[in-house]
């Protein structure tokens, strides 16, 4: 069994949009109140508050706040689950020694989704039936497969989407003996071990002029005005367009790789570390992490093998095993030992594939 998410555009009426917005507002208020309760309990009494304790208070809260009757009960419970998950993630980061990042409050403007974790929703024909909201028109641009487990309703740049999480049987592709190593980069988005290069589309850089104009329009508007809110929404949609272009590109390339290769070898990259230096804009524009995630879940669903290899030295090693140091600006590989002269990224992709074919202990021992 595999888990997938189907994302569809929904078209609520004006009254339904008002209900959706108010649901987000109440969820945001509950989220912040639950967060405040946990902080105060620890600061004042050194007591830890858990999900069960906060969930038990919901009947009293709903009795005191009659307007919460307009929100489905499990949606409110899921809001408390989000607070609980946020604190668990915080303590996990502390335990690992990472930068902690204490849980923060969420403003109404930035609280953009709520979840029906089990019940309260169904898809009937061209409509999505939501408890406390009603029948909302939905565009099923592709068939919904598997058993639906949860529904998340999301607001994005003034538009609404339904994200249905499903469980379905893995759809294995016919077996193939073809294998490939992939070296992701900035000059070319990806170079394969067979020499194929995938161009880097650079969607963000292409859209920078449009994004600057949209940002300046926001800056010129008076804070709190209707015109500023409209300008913010236009800026959000410009960024969403870039995100959608990049995601579409990643989906197409990852699908092509999974369809054609039985084993896919990639570097185990610390993308977060790479995205914090001088090349941060280019790394974020390429979206390597999102791309590798898409390759991973598509490979698992298709019964393909995905191997992550040690990234250390893949661009500084020749196929003969000789250490061949190069600066970032040197794009050509020239080995003084065996005489190999080739594209730097092509050689790196071949090294990545070769590491996937030998025991990891051997790679670690040689580096």
Give the residue from 148, 187, 206, 153 showing the smallest Cα distance to 17: 153
268 is catalytic: no
Q: Catalytic residue among 78, 84, 267, 285, which?
A: 267
Q: How many other C-beta atoms lie within 10 A of the C-beta of residue 165? A: 17
Contact 181, 347 (CB under 8 A): no
Q: CA 230 → CA 12, 221, 241, distances in Å?
A: 19, 10, 17
- Per-position DSSP letters for 271-337, written without gaps between them: HHHHTTSTTHHHHHHHTHHHHHHHHHHHHHHHT-EEEEE--TTTTSB-TTS-B----TT--EEE-TT
- Per-position DSSP letters for 199-220, written without gaps between them: E---HHHHHHHHHHHHHHHHHH
156 is catalytic: no
267 is catalytic: yes
Terminal CA-to-CA distance of the chain, rounded, Å? 38
Size of the chain, expressed as the number of residues it contains: 367
Q: Catalytic residue among 78, 84, 285, 345, which?
A: 345
Cα distance between residue 117 and residue 359, in whole Å: 42
Q: Catalytic residue among 66, 183, 285, 300, which?
A: 183
289 exposure class (CB count in 10 Å sphere: 0-12, 13-18, 19+): middle
Active-site residue set: 183, 267, 345
């Amino acid at each position: 069994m595999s888990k997938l998410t189907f994302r569809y555009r929904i078209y609520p009426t004006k009254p339904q949009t008002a209900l959706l917005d108010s649901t987000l507002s109440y969820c945001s208020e509950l989220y912040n109140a639950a967060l405040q309760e946990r902080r105060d309990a620890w600061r004042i009494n050194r007591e830890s508050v858990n999900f069960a304790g906060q969930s038990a208070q919901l009947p009293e809260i709903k009795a005191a706040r009659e307007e919460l009757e307009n929100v489905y009960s499990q949606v409110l419970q899921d809001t408390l689950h989000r607070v609980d998950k946020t604190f668990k993630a915080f303590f996990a980061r502390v335990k690992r020694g990472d930068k902690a990042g204490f849980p923060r409050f969420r403003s109404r403007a930035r609280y953009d989704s709520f979840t029906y974790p089990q019940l309260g929703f169904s898809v009937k024909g061209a409509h999505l039936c939501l408890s406390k909201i009603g029948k909302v028109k939905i565009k099923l641009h592709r068939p919904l497969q598997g058993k639906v487990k949860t529904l998340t309703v999301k607001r994005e740049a003034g538009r609404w989407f339904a994200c249905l999480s499903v469980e379905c049987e893995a759809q294995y592709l016919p077996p193939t003996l073809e294998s490939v190593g992939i070296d992701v980069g900035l000059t070319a988005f990806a170079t394969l071990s067979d020499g194929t290069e995938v161009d880097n589309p650079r969607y963000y850089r292409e859209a920078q002029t449009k994004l600057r104009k949209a940002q300046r329009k926001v800056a010129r508007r008076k804070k709190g005005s209707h015109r500023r809110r409209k300008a913010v929404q236009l800026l959000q949609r410009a960024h969403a367009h870039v995100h959608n272009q990049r995601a579409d590109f990643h989906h197409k390339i990852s699908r092509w790789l999974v369809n054609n290769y039985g084993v896919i070898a990639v570097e185990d990259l610390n993308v977060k570390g790479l995205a914090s230096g001088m090349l941060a804009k280019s790394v974020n524009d390429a979206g390597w992490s999102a791309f590798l995630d898409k390759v991973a879940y598509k490979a698992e669903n298709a019964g393909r093998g995905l191997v992550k290899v040690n990234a250390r030295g893949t661009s500084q090693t020749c196929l003969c095993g000789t250490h061949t140091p190069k600066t970032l600006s040197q794009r050509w590989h020239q080995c003084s030992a065996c005489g190999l002269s080739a594209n730097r990224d092509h050689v790196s992709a071949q090294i990545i594939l070769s590491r996937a074919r030998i025991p990891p202990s051997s790679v670690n021992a040689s580096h």
